[in-house]
Amino acid sequence: MEIKLSRVHFYRGKNMLDVIMRTFLFFFCSSVFGLTSGTIFSQKTTIEIESDKTISIDEVFDIIKQQTDFNFIYRSDMFKDYPKVSVKKGTIKANKLLEKSLSAGNFLIKISEDNTILISEDTHSSDYQELKIKGQVKDVNDVPLPGITVYVTSAKPTGEKLEQEFLLGATASDIDGNFSLGAKPGDYLVATGMGYLISVQVIVENKEQYHIVLKENVSTLDEVVVVGYGTTRRKDLTGSVGSLKSQDIVQINSQTIDQALVGKLSGVHVSAQSGAPGSGAIVHVRGLSQLIGDNQPLYVVDGVPIVINPQFGSGLGLNDNRQNPLLTINPADIERVDVLKDASSAAIYGSRAANGVILITTKRGKRNQVPRFNFSYNATMQNPTNTFDVLDAAGFKKFMVEQGLEDEVVFGNADTDWQEEVTNNNALWRQYSMGISGGSETVNYLVSGHVSDQEGLMVGNKFNRYTFSASLDANFTKRLRLGSSISYNYSDNKQSELNSLSTGAFYRPDLAVFNGDGTYTSMNFSGIDFRNPLGDEGKVRNKAISQNLLGTAYGEYQLIDGLRFKSQLSLNINNDQRDVFHPSYTRRGLANGALLLVQHSSGLSTSWSNTLNYSRTFADAHTIDALVGISWDHSKLNLDSQQYVGFPDDEILTDINSAQSVFDVASEATQTALNSLFGRLNYNFKDRYLATFTARYDGSIKFGPNNRRGFFPSAALAWNVHNENFLNNNDFISQLKLRASLGRTGSDNLPAFSYLVNYKSLSGTDSYYDGINGIAVDGVPNLDIRWEQTDQLDLGLELGLFNGRFNAQVVYFKKETSDIILLVPVASQTGYSSWNANIADVSNKGWELEFGADVIRSKHFRWNSAFNISFIENNVDALNNGATTNFGSTGIMEGQPIGVITGYDVKSIAQSQEEIDALNNSAPSGTYYSGLTQPGDYVYKDINGDNEITTEDIAPLGDINPNYYGGWNNSISYKNFDFSFNFNFVQGNKRNWYRGATEFLSASTTSNVTTEVYNTWTPDNTGAKYARIGSATHGNSTTTSKNVKAGDYIKFRSASLAYNFPKEWLTNTGIGNVKLTLSGNNLITFSKYPGIDPESVESQRGGSTVELTRDTGVSYPQARTFTIGLNLSL
């Protein structure tokens, strides 16, 4: 909200009284630390006068405006004919200057929250006043809002802009949100505040009390956006930053924030890692570039960097199953999420920013707010979104008969739905939250606690979680502000080994769960009885305890006006302990006795950043916001694991002390240390031309001595066309911004110290001799090893039409990543045939489109609809003989996108022996393909035309990258109802549905099959989709195109309906607000994917992106949830 009133030149010279209201009300409100402009129009604010002169009041205001952050608002004709003021060369305190200028009149002066100085005549002198009105401004949660600009105008405001000519009186609400004004019936009472929608009411006769409820403006350009080491306003942005606020986050019911980003932001592709409670999501910002390891962005929670998958070379670190580190922070404690997508915004994070940066800001108390207690309870019912369509007992028996296997199996009489048996029906998830927040003029605080008690979908799965967070910010002096926050998480994730529907789905349906005597049914393999899944996998006890602590403390000191120094220290501690106990009667226990696997990981990250920030406007035109900083980041992660065997007991004596022996002891550690200098310069000329320059200079223990420090610059320009005179006050185009940025970011996706030669015990027995666990050097040092480098171009157009009622954004980006690290041959006389070197190139380019509209904007009915879609093309440009492993590069091929699936293209199904003979006869070796033996086998396509199938006929069949993805998000409010619903969609990604490739390799008496079995080739079903049962051509070793399936989907991701109890109901209850919410997640999925869910993936070693190519059907199922929630505040 911008009010440009001080340009109005009207004078008025009579009836000015002598007394100046010396009372200035300062509402120094900082809802989130660091968001404040920080400038107080205090005793210390000085104004420089260049020469002795006599000037008008408006000129005085102009001078103050130029040299401070303040704007003025006053009735249009107030200073008409008012005496001029004479000022002398030199400096004068701002309040003195104002005092001096207005000494000839009787004015009431107030300052609103957004640094607007409201000047009104003393009410006693107003001649137009007929009615004295008063009232209170509150937000939708009934919280009083101080510092809101409230004014009366005779013309109905047409939009967000104030019609200054008709301003009759103005004020700002006080600490309790109260205001009073003079007005006439028929005038309009208008309230505006930063971050809120404008409120307009007609003043009627005989009504003096007016209640104003301000709704938060979700699409405002004044929204404060968090960028690296600071904040800015959306209208001042020159780069691509996507933002989510708390109300968007809670729409997805999840234990961690990553899941909640799905479908909300363009350029951000989110897919679920697993449906298991507490598990994370796979987040890819603007495509893929890393060939080894993951492509997840850098998360920064309140300044603490969190890396989802730290890079380990090999071993335990690669296979360790740690809990999601984002469990550190509860989504309910998050105020907002900002995703830095382009180089201009992300380059300030330098060598870690190539995959984008996700900034998470936690909630803090608000200043000038009475203590507020908030309690909420959510109960969620969860059920699998989908199940395998397997044969029932009758179908299974018939199938066995058809396969001629009936003599090899003794059928049971049951008809068990094993998927039903291995899952919890209506699994219940209860969440309790309570919190207190508030603030005085100098202190704000927040304390909250959450208890979550989530039953998993699978039998034996229980996820209990306790989180606690607290924050405090205090102004020690006018110049010194101190603050601190702390978040603690304790989660206890109990699972059995029933962790996918397939554990149950493919068990024999003719067997019951229990025998007549209450024992578990079993199947006999090679003379050993194996219990059914409930008696076996269901009895495995997998318990993972995760403890996370995140703490920050900062001090901010204002050195001189506009110049602030801030020092922030953050730390994050993660501790995971996993114990998996396999009782002696389970599959793994039967071999060597009961088995206990213990894994432990402990991590510590610290970050200390010191910044100096200077912001000032010169000559009412040039605004500079500059930042320089220095930071130290360090993190360390230690892992260890052991296996213990032979326990006297399966239930109680299962501690490690009771074990007979220990084996497979392993340990691994990783660390990073980064010392950096960084800076940013924002330049703004009259809100028309914006420029941003950032740079970071990173030194890291990951970079070799020849490349110890990396420099990551960026530059961006933006043109606010709508602020040019020719578009100013245009009713049609309210915003038109063109922007371009170019810059460089890096990825430090490599283990530390790989440039050093170390002596250590090599893995396996590579340094073991004659009973001595010896030591040996572990590699040849690549002194040149360094970050992977991404150059990114970003071109954007932002458009707002009809007073911001319709918004659109179109962005084109191009990312070129070079120096990607792969294993590369090295002179083997060094003792090593390959080493890690910066060698490969990958490019991403694409379009991001966002459209938003207030479809309906009326007093009681509001519908905001936002649609986003992103198109991304990915390509591996050059590998230069590099490989991801010593055994080649699965999923990586030059000229193809990352995550390419290769295999044989199925041409048809052979229908006759003659057809096969003909193929064999024309093959040079006499055999077209060894697997092709009978009618019903697949005939693979001969790509190279040599008339037989060899490895040269393996071709790309698809890849994991969507052609496009996006979401459609809606929020509707009608009176006391709020309704929101979200869709998201993905198109063009492929996955190897490996379960399909193996399912019909042979018919087995021990496992059930899906109804796809009716779609396999038989002499009577020659038009079948799949090859005959038992064919060697199904593609279990080399993928075939038959199993490369489209992962396209449209998901009705969430819907929620909230009802705010009318205030009348709550009078005399002591309760301020009651909200009842009904919501659902994963409601409907439209997809042809044959697996359980088009998002299903298996856990990837070390998060490796290329492992997303395969789905063997064993992922934890996604849940469809229904939640009923109650939120009340006092």
Partner 1 sequence: MKKTYYIYRFITSLIVLSLFSCQLAEDLDDYEPLNALDANKAIVDESTSELALAGVYAGFHQQNGGSGIPEIYTIPSLMSGTLVNTFLFNNDEVQGYVNNNPLAVNTSQGLGAYTRMYDIINRANWLIEKATALTDDKFPTAGRRLEIIAETKMLRATANFYLLRLWGQFYDLDSQYGISIRMEPSRSGEALPRSTVMETYEAILGDLDYAIENAPAIRPKYYTNLVYAKGLKSKILLYQGKYMEAAVLAKEVMETSGADFSLTPTYGEIFLDHSTPDLFDSDEIVFGTKGDPIAGVGIGNVIGTIFAVSPSYISSVLETTTVGGQVISHDGTRVSTTIKEGFFGFDSLKSNFNFLPPENKYEMVYHLRMAEIYLIYAEAHARSVEFVSPDALNALNAIRTRAGATTTGGDGFETYPSTISLAQFLEAVRIEKRVELGIETGEDWFDLVRYHFVDGMDITTVKATADNPDKYILPIDYIAIEAGKNIVEQNPNY
Of 609-628, binders to partner 1 (CB under 8 A) are 610
Tokens of 1065: 């109901």
Using CB under 8 A as the binding rule, whether residue 700 contacts partner 1 is answered as yes
Among positions 515, 758, 913, 1022, the unique one binding partner 1 when judged by CB under 8 A: 758
In the complex, least distance from residue 612 CB atom to partner 1, rounded to whole angstroms: 12
> 126 in helix, strand or coil?
coil
Whether residue 861 contacts residue 843, with contact meaning beta carbons closer than 8 Å, is answered with no
Q: Which is nearer to partner 1, 282 or 569 (CB)?
A: 569
Using CB under 8 A as the binding rule, whether residue 774 contacts partner 1 is answered as yes
Q: Which is nearer to partner 1, 726 or 769 (CB)?
A: 769
Query: Computed from CA positions of residues 1027, 1029, 1032, 1038, in that sequence, does the dihedral angle turn out positive or negative?
Result: positive
In the complex, least distance from residue 589 CB atom to partner 1, rounded to whole angstroms: 22
* Segments of 287-439 assigned E as strands: 298-301, 304-306, 334-340, 357-362, 369-384, 427-439
DSSP 266: T
Using CB under 8 A, which of the segments 488-496, 521-529, 766-774, 1082-1090 binds partner 1? 766-774
DSSP secondary structure, 451-504, as one string: EEEEE-SBTT-EEEEEEEEEEEEEESSSSEEEEEEEEEEEEEEEE-S--SHHHH
Buried b / exposed e along 234-273 (16+ C-beta atoms within 10 A): ebbbbbbbbbbbbebbbbbbbbbbbbbbbbbbbbbbbbbb
Q: How far apart are CA 932 and CA 938, in angstroms?
A: 7
H-helix or E-strand spanning residue 92: strand 90-93
Beta-ladder partners of 548: 489, 574
Using CB under 8 A, which of the segments 197-205, 261-269, 543-551, 763-771 binds partner 1? 763-771
Query: Cα torsion for 204, 137, 39, 614, to the nearest 10°?
Result: -100
Q: Which is nearer to partner 1, 84 or 636 (CB)?
A: 636
Q: How far apart are CA 291 and CA 819, in angstroms?
A: 11
Report the interhelical angle of 57-67 vs 94-101 (nearest 10°): 170
Q: How far apart are CA 1081 and CA 1079, in angstroms?
A: 7
Using CB under 8 A, which of the segments 53-61, 127-135, 458-466, 662-670 binds partner 1? 662-670
Tokens of 108: 């009431």
Using CB under 8 A as the binding rule, whether residue 638 contacts partner 1 is answered as yes
Using CB under 8 A, which of the segments 284-292, 356-364, 516-524, 700-708 binds partner 1? 700-708
Using CB under 8 A as the binding rule, whether residue 701 contacts partner 1 is answered as yes
Query: Site size for partner 1, by CB under 8 A?
Result: 63
Tokens of 880: 């230069």
Using CB under 8 A as the binding rule, whether residue 783 contacts partner 1 is answered as yes
Among positions 43, 519, 830, 1037, the unique one binding partner 1 when judged by CB under 8 A: 830
Using CB under 8 A as the binding rule, whether residue 760 contacts partner 1 is answered as yes
Nearest Cα neighbor of 608 from 631, 626, 592 is 631
Beta-ladder partners of 699: 675, 709
In the complex, least distance from residue 824 CB atom to partner 1, rounded to whole angstroms: 7
CA atoms within 13 A on the CB side of 810: 4
Q: Which is nearer to partner 1, 607 or 714 (CB)?
A: 607
Using CB under 8 A as the binding rule, whether residue 781 contacts partner 1 is answered as yes
Using CB under 8 A, which of the segments 399-407, 487-495, 667-675, 954-962 binds partner 1? 667-675
Beta-ladder partners of 501: none
Among positions 140, 673, 855, 943, the unique one binding partner 1 when judged by CB under 8 A: 673
CA 608 from centroid of its chain's CA atoms: 24
Whether residue 147 contacts residue 137, with contact meaning beta carbons closer than 8 Å, is answered with no
In the complex, least distance from residue 679 CB atom to partner 1, rounded to whole angstroms: 18
> 134 in helix, strand or coil?
strand
Among positions 772, 859, 888, 1070, the unique one binding partner 1 when judged by CB under 8 A: 772
Using CB under 8 A as the binding rule, whether residue 782 contacts partner 1 is answered as yes
Whether residue 839 contacts residue 817, with contact meaning beta carbons closer than 8 Å, is answered with no
Residue type, 647: F
Using CB under 8 A, which of the segments 388-396, 458-466, 588-596, 757-765 binds partner 1? 757-765
In the complex, least distance from residue 748 CB atom to partner 1, rounded to whole angstroms: 13
Among positions 103, 606, 947, 1021, the unique one binding partner 1 when judged by CB under 8 A: 606
Using CB under 8 A as the binding rule, whether residue 83 contacts partner 1 is answered as no
H-helix or E-strand spanning residue 675: strand 661-685
Q: Which is nearer to partner 1, 93 or 636 (CB)?
A: 636
Using CB under 8 A as the binding rule, whether residue 822 contacts partner 1 is answered as no
In the complex, least distance from residue 766 CB atom to partner 1, rounded to whole angstroms: 5
Q: How far apart are CA 616 and CA 798, in angstroms?
A: 26
Using CB under 8 A as the binding rule, whether residue 602 contacts partner 1 is answered as no
Q: What is the CA radius of gyration of the chain?
A: 34
In the complex, least distance from residue 830 CB atom to partner 1, rounded to whole angstroms: 4
Binding mask 555-594 for partner 1 (x = CB under 8 A): --x-------x-x-x-------------------------
Using CB under 8 A as the binding rule, whether residue 699 contacts partner 1 is answered as yes
Using CB under 8 A, which of the segments 216-224, 231-239, 779-787, 1086-1094 binds partner 1? 779-787
Whether residue 65 contacts residue 6, with contact meaning beta carbons closer than 8 Å, is answered with yes
Among positions 665, 756, 918, 1084, the unique one binding partner 1 when judged by CB under 8 A: 756
DSSP 1118: P
Q: Is 594 exposed, middle or buried (0-12, 13-18, 19+ CB in 10 A)?
A: buried
Q: Which is nearer to partner 1, 101 or 558 (CB)?
A: 558
Using CB under 8 A as the binding rule, whether residue 881 contacts partner 1 is answered as yes
Using CB under 8 A as the binding rule, whether residue 312 contacts partner 1 is answered as no
Among positions 376, 671, 723, 982, the unique one binding partner 1 when judged by CB under 8 A: 671
In the complex, least distance from residue 674 CB atom to partner 1, rounded to whole angstroms: 8
Using CB under 8 A as the binding rule, whether residue 764 contacts partner 1 is answered as yes
Whether residue 150 contacts residue 123, with contact meaning beta carbons closer than 8 Å, is answered with no
In the complex, least distance from residue 288 CB atom to partner 1, rounded to whole angstroms: 27
Among positions 831, 921, 974, 1086, the unique one binding partner 1 when judged by CB under 8 A: 831
Using CB under 8 A, which of the segments 295-303, 544-552, 693-701, 908-916 binds partner 1? 693-701
Q: Which is nearer to partner 1, 677 or 808 (CB)?
A: 677
Using CB under 8 A as the binding rule, whether residue 833 contacts partner 1 is answered as yes
Q: Which is nearer to partner 1, 538 or 882 (CB)?
A: 882
Whether residue 47 contacts residue 100, with contact meaning beta carbons closer than 8 Å, is answered with no
In the complex, least distance from residue 950 CB atom to partner 1, rounded to whole angstroms: 13
Using CB under 8 A, which of the segments 483-491, 632-640, 1028-1036, 1107-1115 binds partner 1? 632-640
Q: Which residue has the tokens 């969609």?
A: 985
In the complex, least distance from residue 700 CB atom to partner 1, rounded to whole angstroms: 7
CA 790 from centroid of its chain's CA atoms: 21
Q: How far apart are CA 378 and CA 914, in angstroms?
A: 66
Using CB under 8 A as the binding rule, whether residue 689 contacts partner 1 is answered as no
Using CB under 8 A as the binding rule, whether residue 636 contacts partner 1 is answered as yes
In the complex, least distance from residue 608 CB atom to partner 1, rounded to whole angstroms: 5
CA atoms within 13 A on the CB side of 463: 24
Whether residue 488 contacts residue 447, with contact meaning beta carbons closer than 8 Å, is answered with no
Output phi, psi for 206, to 5 deg: 65, 20
Using CB under 8 A as the binding rule, whether residue 1011 contacts partner 1 is answered as no
Whether residue 537 contacts residue 586, with contact meaning beta carbons closer than 8 Å, is answered with yes
User: Which residues lie near partner 1 (CB under 8 A)?
Assistant: 557, 565, 567, 569, 606, 608, 610, 632, 634, 636, 638, 667-671, 673, 675, 699-701, 708, 752-753, 756-760, 762-778, 780-783, 824-833, 835, 881, 886
